[in-house]
């Protein structure tokens, strides 16, 4: 499978790390990276990462290429992707965060690529898909949104619970690390609370997962509400879900969770008393923290799970790209 990474930010760089480092991705070839930032800067930020640490290999840059462990990857700086020749490309990973219009989302297709996969919510996509929740709806769609990191964590959990037991209602709070959308010092950012320095306060805010769950799982539209609290940590987030189920809850509910999700590749489990940093680079969409499960009453249960919002989401980008290319 040949992919192009358009936008070499947090997700683009993390995708490349996984493709190069993990043996299960040997069949994935990154044939081009496109980013308008200086190549030397992009190479530096790939080599030295504040979250995942230094890349454990050799990284260098030339006039128009990034070289990693001897592998030369062409690098371009086209503001408009449609000006490039991508006729041999299976999937463009659209990671710029700018594909919120059809004109931008279609640029990879106009360049000749077969598919475009957007690394975030986008109304310009043909469909929003989440592995473990609704990927069976892929069909012939060529511009796909991979949703958000929180939607990837929450939707497979809700799908499994609803299929096995039935979800009547629920509320989710994501405890989310700060991101580039927040300022490091107080500065205007739209919503007043999002204008505050992200590294020093817990910031109550909204999450796109509230809307996207109803898009991905229309059978649950209007049944699950959501909110977010941004916290001053640099990586790994959490889902705190209280859900009312159609069938009575039997304690210990963890036995039922293990039964429902035992064979689900995007849902993991942890039994130890861990903290967020212990979950860094976990590839699952969500890792259920079993000691935090609480049976509230006969039909209500509280579930808690961790997700590496960069590493896990990037892993799903690769999985989705494989599905799209395999058609």
Output the CA–CA distances (angstroms, integers) from residue 126 to 109, 118, 122, in the order listed.
13, 11, 9
Q: How confident is the model at residue 294 (pLDDT cuts 50, 70, 90)?
A: very high
CB-based contacts of 256, cutoff 8 Å, min separation 6: 164, 165, 250
Mean pLDDT of all residues in the chain?
97
Name the residue with tokens 């992009």: 42
**pLDDT per residue over 28-71, tens digit each?**
999 999 999 999 999 999 999 999 999 999 999 999 999 999 99
- Who contacts 44 (Cβ-Cβ below 8 Å, separation ≥6)? none
Average pLDDT over residues 146-169: 98
Q: Please choose, from the candidates 31, 48, 42, 40, the residue with its C-alpha nearest in 3D space to the C-alpha of residue 7.
A: 42
Options 42, 95, 149, 177, the catalytic residue: 149
259 pLDDT more than 90: yes
Per-residue pLDDT, averaged over 77-97, amounts to 98
**pLDDT above 90 (res 23):** no
* pLDDT at site 26: 87
- Residue 169 makes CB contacts below 8 A (sequence gap 6+) with 223, 224, 243, 244
> What is the per-residue pLDDT for 24?
87
Domains observed in the chain: 2-119 (3.40.50.720), 149-309 (3.30.360.10)
- Is 149 annotated as catalytic? yes
| CA neighbor of 126 nearest in space, from 155, 112, 105 | 105
Q: Would you say residue 20 has pLDDT above 90? A: yes
Portion of the chain with pLDDT greater than 70, in percent? 100
């Amino acid at each position: 499978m040949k992919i192009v990474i358009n936008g070499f930010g947090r997700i683009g760089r993390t995708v490349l790390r996984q493709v190069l480092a993990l043996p299960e991705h040997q069949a994935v070839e990154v044939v081009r990276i496109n980013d308008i930032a200086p190549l030397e800067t992009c190479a530096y930020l790939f080599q030295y990462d504040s979250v995942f640490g230094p890349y454990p290999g050799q990284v260098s840059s030339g006039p128009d290429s990034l070289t990693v462990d001897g592998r030369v990857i062409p690098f371009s700086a086209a503001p408009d992707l449609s000006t490039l020749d991508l006729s041999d490309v299976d999937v463009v990973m659209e990671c710029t965060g700018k594909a919120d219009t059809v004109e931008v989302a279609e640029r990879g297709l106009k360049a000749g690529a077969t598919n475009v996969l957007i690394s975030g919510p986008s109304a310009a996509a043909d469909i929003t898909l989440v592995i473990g929740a609704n990927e069976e709806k892929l069909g012939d769609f060529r511009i796909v949104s991979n949703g958000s990191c929180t939607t990837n964590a929450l939707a497979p959990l809700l799908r499994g619970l609803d299929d096995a037991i039935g979800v009547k209602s629920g509320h989710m709070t994501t405890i989310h690390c700060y991101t580039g959308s927040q300022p490091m010092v107080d500065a205007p950012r739209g919503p007043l609370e999002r204008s505050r320095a992200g590294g020093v306060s817990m910031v109550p805010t909204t999450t796109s997962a509230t809307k996207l769950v109803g898009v991905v799982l229309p059978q649950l539209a209007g049944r699950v509400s959501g909110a977010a609290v941004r916290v001053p940590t640099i990586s790994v987030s959490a889902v705190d879900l209280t859900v009312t189920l159609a069938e009575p809850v039997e304690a210990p509910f963890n036995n039922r969770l293990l039964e429902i999700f035992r064979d689900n590749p995007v849902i993991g489990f942890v039994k130890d008393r861990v903290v967020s940093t212990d979950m860094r680079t976990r590839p699952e969409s969500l890792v259920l923290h079993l000691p935090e499960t609480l049976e509230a009453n006969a039909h209500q249960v509280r579930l808690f799970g961790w997700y590496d919002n960069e590493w896990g989401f990037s892993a799903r980008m690769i999985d989705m790209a494989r599905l799209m290319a395999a058609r």
